[in-house]
């Protein structure tokens, strides 16, 4: 077993992040299937096992809110990063490079899928002394640029909508 290089480690981290970002969104079904295929590598039993793991992740993250939810998302991100690392690390160099290339393509596809299916607010701005911007900004797979900030900024996954509210 060789130590993964920085590029492979970064790919594994990006894969773990994509799994967690997609959980609970409209992109989940597509992401879940693509990740299971990558891990399965043509082995139907392995793919089913990965689908079961992904389902457990999706279920756990679907109700994750607040600080406990943030910790759970961090734990899941680390867990999936580690799964990707182990999958890559257990291979000879040639196969590792091939699967690394596939993972690179997969991560880019996942980012695009998440970004396309997520709600976006394109711009929130406030200016002048004491100005405030309030409300919610939801972004997946896109940058948030903050030029200057005074006070607090809370970053958290929004709560799922209440089904009784229509």
Report residue 20 as tokens. Answer: 């967690």
- Give the closest residue to 104 by CA, choosing from 22, 28, 26, 10: 10
Residue 41 lies in a domain: yes
Return the pLDDT at 60. 92
In a domain, 97, yes or no: yes
102 pLDDT above the threshold of 80: yes
Q: Per the domain annotation, does 137 fall within a domain? A: no
* pLDDT interval class at 151 (50, 70, 90): low
Nearest to 114 by CA among 138, 84, 85, 82: 138
Alpha-carbon distance values, 14 to 17, 18, 113, 121, 125 (Å): 5, 6, 14, 23, 29
pLDDT classification of 157: cutoffs 50, 70, 90: low
How many domains does one find in the chain?
1
For every residue of 41-77, which 3-state class applies, written as one string? CCCHHHHHHHHHHHHHHHHHHHCCCHHHHHHHHHHHH
CB 28 within 8 A of CB 118: no
pLDDT digits (tens, 9 = 90+) for 107-148: 888 888 777 765 555 455 555 555 455 555 554 444 555 555
* pTM greater than 0.85: no
Judged against a pLDDT cut of 80, whether residue 68 lies above it is answered with yes
The domain in which residue 94 lies consists of: 6-116
For the ranges 2-11, 34-43, 88-97, which has the lowest average pLDDT?
2-11
Q: What is the pLDDT of residues 13-61, one digit of tens each?
A: 999 998 998 888 888 898 899 999 999 999 999 999 999 999 999 999 9
Whole-angstrom Cα distance, residue 93 to residue 52? 29
Q: Is residue 44 part of a domain?
A: yes
């Amino acid at each position: 077993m060789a130590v993964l290089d920085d590029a492979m480690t970064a790919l594994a981290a990006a894969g773990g992040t994509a799994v967690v970002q997609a959980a609970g969104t409209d992109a989940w079904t597509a992401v879940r299937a693509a990740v299971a295929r990558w891990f399965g590598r043509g082995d139907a039993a392995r793919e089913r096992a990965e689908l079961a793991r992904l389902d457990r992740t999706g279920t756990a993250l679907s109700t994750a809110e607040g600080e406990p939810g943030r910790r759970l998302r961090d734990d899941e991100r680390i867990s999936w990063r580690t799964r990707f690392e182990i999958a890559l690390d257990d291979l000879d160099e040639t196969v590792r490079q091939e699967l690394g290339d596939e993972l690179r393509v997969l991560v880019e596809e996942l980012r695009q899928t998440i970004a396309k299916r997520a709600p976006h607010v394109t711009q929130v701005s406030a200016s002048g002394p004491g100005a405030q911007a309030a409300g919610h900004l939801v972004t997946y797979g896109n940058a948030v640029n903050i030029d200057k900030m005074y006070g607090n900024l809370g970053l958290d996954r929004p709560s799922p909508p209440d089904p009784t509210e229509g």
